[in-house]
Amino acid sequence: MKPLQIKNPSEFGKVAVLLGGTAAEREVSLNSGNAVYQALKAGGVDAVAIDVTASPIDALAGQRFDRVFNVIHGRGGEDGVLQAVLEALGLPYTGSGVLASALAMDKLRTKLCWQGAGLPTPRWFLLTGDQDLDTCINALGFPVIVKPAQEGSSIGMSKAHNREELAAALKLASQYRCDVYAEQWIQGQEYTIGMLNGEALPAIRLETPHTFYDFDAKYRANTTQYHCPCGLDNEREKELQALALKACQTVGVSGWGRVDAFIDDSGRLQLIEVNTVPGMTDHSLVPMAAKAVGIDFQELVWRILETSMVASGDQA
């Protein structure tokens, strides 16, 4: 990792830690944001935690800040909306800019970008209603995983083995007011690769007894296993890390983020999605990967905040 650029916390000025938000991931964001806030305070940074329950403009009104550490997950915080507000206010912020945030929040558009760049991602089919079910089955077969395109933390996702389950999965995902798609089920090993200031962190291999790495497996279950080192040989892990960096570069992700991927049973790498505001509790995946290279949680938060120092204008 590159050496720290900022030595004195006063160089950051007054920092607003934005957390909460109004999306389905609000609970996760509150936990992440509080952890980030505590770490910044422990490092001597003049930080203020702000729970955004409605308009971020209203949340910031009447206060003067020098920069923002954004820890709002999901729509309204991770999709370019908040980034555009901060651009208009002239406030530097952590994470990707408007364009990259909007693209990465939309899993479908991300996959289209990756496809256009020649990067591997599982086949998918857009579901606009029950009239698409049979065409989807003919195109992908079973099993598939059905996803709302603009939700995170596996919210609204379910696996389908037959037409009846596919219809039920579509109905569930359609509750989230965004595009819904079915994706080819990948049999293999699941990995996640953190990115910090243009460098890949060690890959983590995920293992869960659940059908897939769902919300409960991520945040509630004690049966999920995280393997770091991930078990790949050095060259294979470097290949996976290089693909993750390319995936970020293709959609313009900057500052920090996390890429989810599979290596299927035939050995092919498959990109699933990229997160521009990953979870940031002290047991989340990016902190876990950072710890493997000697970066503790407080230093990680400091390094992420440093990325806001180099950005002016649209960070994407």
Q: Which of 26, 67, 75, 258 is catalytic?
A: 258
Is 219 among the catalytic positions?
Answer: yes
Name, in order, each residue with C-beta under 8 angstroms of 148's C-beta and a sequence gap of 6 or more. Answer: 155, 156, 157, 173, 174, 175, 176, 178, 179, 180
User: Is residue 262 a part of any domain in this protein?
Assistant: yes
**d(C-alpha 145, C-alpha 181), whole Å:** 8
270 - beta bridge partners?
262
**Cβ-contact 61, 279 below 8 angstroms:** no
Tokens standing for residue 160: 């389908």
How far apart, in whole angstroms, are the C-alpha atoms of residue 124 and residue 136?
Answer: 9
Q: What is the DSSP string of 69-96?
A: EE---STTTSSSHHHHHHHHHT--BSS-
Annotation marks residue 78 as catalytic = no
- For the question of residue 37 being annotated catalytic, the response is no
DSSP string, 149-168: TT--TTTT-EEESSHHHHHH
pLDDT tens digits in sequence order for the chain, 316 residues long:
889 999 999 999 999 999 999 988 899 899 999 999 999 999 999 999 999 999 999 999 999 999 999 999 988 999 999 999 999 999 999 999 999 999 999 999 999 999 999 999 999 999 999 999 999 999 999 999 999 998 866 788 999 999 999 999 999 999 988 999 999 999 999 999 999 999 999 999 999 876 665 556 555 557 789 999 999 999 999 999 999 999 999 999 999 999 999 999 999 999 999 999 999 986 799 999 999 999 999 999 999 999 999 753 333 3
Selecting among 151, 190, 260, 306, the annotated active-site residue is 260
Best CA proximity match to 9, nearest among 279, 288, 290, 309: 309
Please give the structure tokens belonging to residue 156. Answer: 């609204």
Strand partners for 225? 207
Residue 197 within any structural domain of the chain:
yes
274 in Cβ contact with 203 (< 8 Å): no
Q: Quick one: pLDDT at residue 213?
A: 58
Tell me which of 184, 202, 226 is where a domain ends.
Answer: 184
Question: What is residue 300's three-state secondary structure?
Answer: helix
* pLDDT per residue as tens digits for the range 186-245: 999 999 999 999 999 999 999 987 666 555 655 555 778 999 999 999 999 999 999 999
The SS3 assignment for 64 reads: coil
Q: Do 110 and 219 share a domain, yes or no?
A: yes
Q: Do residues 68 and 90 both lie within one domain?
A: yes
- Give the three-state DSSP class for 234: helix
Q: What is the pTM of this model?
A: 0.92
Examine the domain organization and report whether 149 and 179 are in the same domain: yes
CATH number at residue 51: 3.40.50.20
Q: Is 234 a catalytic residue?
A: no
Examine the residue annotation and report whether 90 is marked as an active-site residue of this protein: no
Strands across the sheet containing 180-184? 124-127, 180-184, 144-148, 158-160
Shared domain check, 115 and 135: no
User: What six digits make up the tokens of 220?
Assistant: 């509630």
Whole-angstrom distance, CA of residue 221 vs CA of residue 236: 29
In the prediction, which pLDDT does 311 show?
55
Catalytic residue among 79, 190, 273, 306: 273
**Same structural domain, 75 and 172:** no
Q: Are residues 74 and 111 in the same domain?
A: no
Q: Are 307 and 255 in contact (CB under 8 A)?
A: yes
In the sheet that holds 14-20, the strands lie side by side as 46-52, 14-20, 67-70
Token pair in block for residue 316 = 């994407």
| Residue 110 backbone phi and psi in degrees, to 5 | -60, -45
Cα–Cα distance measured from residue 183 to residue 143, given in angstroms and rounded to the nearest whole number = 9
Which of 12, 152, 40 is closest to 49 using CA atoms?
40
Residue 212 inside a domain? The answer is yes
One of 31, 32, 70, 275 is an active-site residue; which one?
Answer: 275
Tell whether 152 and 230 lie within a shared domain.
no
Q: Give me the pLDDT at residue 91, please.
A: 97
Tell me, yes or no, if 79 is annotated catalytic: no
pLDDT score of 243: 98
The CA-based angle 155-161-167, given to 5 degrees, is 65
275 belongs to the catalytic site = yes
Residue ranges of E strands in 80-227: 124-127, 144-148, 158-160, 180-184, 188-196, 199-207, 225-227
Tell me whether residue 109 is one of the annotated catalytic residues: no
Structural domain count of the chain: 3
Query: What is the domain extent for residue 208?
Result: 104-120+187-292
What does DSSP assign to residue 184? Answer: E
Q: Does residue 145 sit within a domain?
A: yes
Q: Which two tokens stand for residue 259?
A: 């890429």
pLDDT attached to residue 303: 98
Choose, from 181, 191, 213, 219, the residue flagged as catalytic: 219
